[in-house]
Amino acid sequence: MIEDNVVYIGNKPVMNYVLAVVTQFNNGASEVSVKARGKAISRAVDAVEVSRNRFLPESKIKDIKIGTEKIATDRGDSNVSIIEIVLSK
Amino acid sequence: MIEDNVVYIGNKPVMNYVLAVVTQFNNGASEVSVKARGKAISRAVDAVEVSRNRFLPESKIKDIKIGTEKIATDRGDSNVSIIEIVLSK
């Protein structure tokens, strides 16, 4: 069994990430962590909600954390918000 | 003292909502609830993070909830993700 499974949310359609989450549970994970930053945060919440409501009705939201990360850009450092949502069976 | 203070996040610049959060604390609130749905969820996290990091270093994130709401549209019901972040002093 693989622990510490993480799904990083990017700019693809929500269903891609839903599939990734469901697949990790089907492969034996007891927890899946969904991480996103910036504008992808909304999509992370969508992915978790669709996963729970449609495919994993027995799963629970174990923890939700938000925070801030510094990222280097062409014009110096910039702050970006991050979210981590931990789903467990 | 007014309890149950809520700041709803819409499409305005993040700093408008930061100001709303800070003002509620300055007016005596012990908790402020930041709510958003759909694409505004990312902005809600931004507003909470900027409020905490720049203006309310003593505040804590008491709770974060996510969920799904049905909204009526021209083309029938649609699901939208929601978030509620509770900040406390």
The 10s digit of each residue's pLDDT in A12-68 is 999 999 999 999 999 999 999 999 999 999 999 999 999 999 999 999 999 999 999
Mean pLDDT of A2-10: 83
Residues B25-61: tens digit of each pLDDT:
999 999 999 999 999 999 999 999 999 999 999 999 9
- Report how many domains make up chain A: 1
Q: Cβ contacts of residue A53 below 8 Å, gap of 6+?
A: B68, B79
ipTM attached to this prediction: 0.90
Give me the pLDDT at residue B84, please. Answer: 98
Residue A81: which of B38, B42, B79 has the nearest Cβ? B42
Q: Is the pLDDT of residue B1 over 60?
A: no
The distance from CA B34 to its chain's CA centroid, rounded to whole angstroms, is 2
Q: Is A56 helix (H, G, I), strand (E, B) or coil?
A: coil
Q: Cβ contacts of residue A37 below 8 Å, gap of 6+?
A: A69, A80, A81, A82, A83
Q: Is B32 helix (H, G, I), strand (E, B) or coil?
A: strand
Hey, is the C-beta of B89 within 8 angstroms of any chain A C-beta?
Answer: no
Q: Is B65 helix (H, G, I), strand (E, B) or coil?
A: strand
Instruction: Identify all chain A residues contacting B64, using CB atoms and an 8 Å cutoff.
Output: 64-66
The distance from CA A42 to its chain's CA centroid, rounded to whole angstroms, is 10
Quick check: A33 and A9 in contact, CB under 8 A?
no
CATH of the domain at A51: 3.30.110.20
Instruction: Identify all chain B residues contacting A45, using CB atoms and an 8 Å cutoff.
Output: 41, 66, 81, 83
Instruction: Identify all chain B residues contacting A39, using CB atoms and an 8 Å cutoff.
Output: 39, 42
Residue B35: domain span: 5-88
pTM for this prediction: 0.91
Distance from CA of B1 to the nearest CA of A (A): 28
Hey, is the C-beta of B28 within 8 angstroms of any chain A C-beta?
Answer: no
Q: How confident is the model at residue A2 (pLDDT cuts 50, 70, 90)?
A: very low
